[in-house]
């Protein structure tokens, strides 16, 4: 089981198929052994597709030629050499993708799902919350109509960003519009459905607190990344003044990061991302930190199907599992075609029990969508849901053009 090659593969939306900028590219990692066995991993790409892809080549030097069973030593050796690892999302993302692929290989060789190597599963199904469902929604009634459709599909929790193009500061008018959107969704889905408010780490503390106090009235289950990440110390004040719990974690990279935020009282619900916080190797340690603090865990999961498959294996073992993010219902067809082996049914994931990650990659689809493109830029930032950034209708800014999507071109 010597590792022969570690190959980063970029796939992207074909020309003409709509895709939000943040989801228009996917970095897969294929690890192949000397006897031809294959394991798969994935890395995030938001405006860093090519840097992450090249970082995988750096990580590869620490794994190629080594036995799959040496995955802990390989991980530790890269950690020792990578001087900026704890602050470099490119490095941790590349390492995470390779780590996931090697765990996939190891579990396949033993004929068990990864969850068995992590200590065994505590559950076979997990509750999902829908994200991405509100594309092209600006008016409150548009949010409400799409939320109703999600309820009809079986979802009992919805995350969404109601803040339009507000950034940094928040005008009274922008806050009013956000409040109307959340009110419309709450009325549409009723009191039993969980609403999760996405801030996208965009506000200065004063604006975040005003928004939090306003939206408390709709009883959301959590508010995600309310302040800009570099101002995270202000989360203590936010938690003191806003009733709704704070969730975050997609920009934390190491177990020590998660422990620090919990110890300092800056977060209630952890949202690690297995594709940038050290894969399964760090994932076990982060789960231990969460358990020690009794912190609920709701894994961030916004990119592709290998990420989902790996995350579900972690979910199966988490003592403090809370919710699982799902974009699957909003994916374009090209992304759906990459992997077989799991699905969302009635607002829940059934955790795959087949060996490894429990899924099969369609390598013909991977080759069909192989690309060398980068994510499009503008008019919306790549982290927003398409069509939600620029207001329309009676409350729209007359000086701001409406949204226009740029589709990435496929190149070989």
Point out the residues that are catalytic. Answer: 200, 300
Residue 217: Cβ within 10 Å count: 12
- CB of 408 within 8 A of CB of 374? yes
Query: Strand pairing partners for 26?
Result: 11
Q: At what angle do helices 71-81 and 89-110 cross, to 10 degrees?
A: 170
Report the relative pairing of strands 25-33 and 3-12 from DSSP bridges.
antiparallel
Cα(322)–Cα(404) distance, integer angstroms: 36
C-alpha–C-alpha distance, residues 153 and 132, integer Å:
14
| Residue 280 half-sphere exposure toward CB, CA atoms < 13 A | 35
Tokens read off for 350: 């059934």
- Of the candidates 304, 321, 325, 151, which has an alpha carbon nearest to the alpha carbon of residue 224? 325
Return the CA Rg of the chain: 21
Query: Which residue matches tokens 């209630």?
Result: 268
Distance of CA 261 to the CA centre of its chain: 19
CA 248 to chain centre: 11
Beta carbons of 41 and 98 less than 8 angstroms apart: yes
């Amino acid at each position: 089981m010597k590792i022969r090659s570690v190959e980063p593969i970029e796939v992207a939306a074909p020309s003409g198929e709509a895709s939000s900028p943040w989801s228009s590219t996917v970095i897969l990692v294929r690890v192949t052994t000397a006897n031809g066995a294959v394991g798969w991993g994935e890395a995030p790409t938001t405006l860093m597709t090519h840097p992450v892809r090249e970082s995988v080549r750096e990580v590869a030097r620490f794994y190629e030629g080594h036995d799959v069973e040496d995955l802990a030593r390989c991980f530790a050796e890269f950690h020792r050499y990578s001087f900026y690892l704890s602050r470099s999302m490119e490095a941790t993302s590349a390492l995470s993708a390779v780590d996931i692929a090697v765990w996939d290989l190891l579990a396949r060789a033993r004929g068990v799902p990864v969850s068995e190597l992590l200590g065994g599963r505590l559950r076979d199904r997990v509750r999902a919350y829908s994200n991405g469902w509100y594309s092209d929604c600006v008016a409150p009634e548009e949010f409400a109509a799409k939320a109703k459709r999600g309820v009809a599909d079986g979802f009992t929790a919805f995350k969404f960003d109601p803040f339009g193009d507000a950034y940094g500061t928040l005008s009274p008018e922008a806050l009013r519009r956000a409040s109307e959107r959340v009110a419309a969704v709450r009325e549409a889905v009723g009191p039993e459905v969980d609403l999760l408010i996405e801030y996208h780490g965009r506000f200065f503390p004063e604006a975040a607190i005003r928004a939090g106090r306003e939206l408390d009235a709709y009883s959301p289950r959590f508010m995600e990344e309310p302040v800009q990440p570099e101002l995270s110390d202000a989360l203590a004040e936010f938690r003191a003044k806003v009733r709704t719990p704070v969730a975050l974690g997609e920009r934390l990279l190491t177990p020590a990061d998660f422990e620090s935020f919990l110890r300092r009282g800056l977060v209630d619900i952890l949202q690690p991302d297995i594709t940038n916080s050290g894969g399964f190797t760090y994932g076990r340690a982060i789960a231990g930190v969460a358990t020690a603090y009794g912190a609920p865990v709701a894994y961030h999961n916004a990119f592709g199907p290998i990420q989902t498959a790996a995350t579900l294996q972690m979910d199966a073992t988490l003592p403090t599992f809370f919710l699982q993010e799902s974009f699957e219902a909003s994916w374009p067809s090209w992304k759906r075609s990459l992997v077989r082996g799991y699905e969302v049914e009635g607002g829940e994931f059934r955790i795959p029990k087949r060996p490894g990650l429990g899924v099969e990659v369609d390598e013909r689809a991977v080759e069909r969508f192989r690309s060398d493109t980068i994510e499009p830029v503008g008019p919306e930032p790549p982290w927003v849901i398409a069509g939600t950034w620029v207001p329309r209708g009676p409350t729209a800014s007359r000086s701001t053009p409406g949204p226009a999507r740029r589709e990435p071109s496929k190149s070989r």
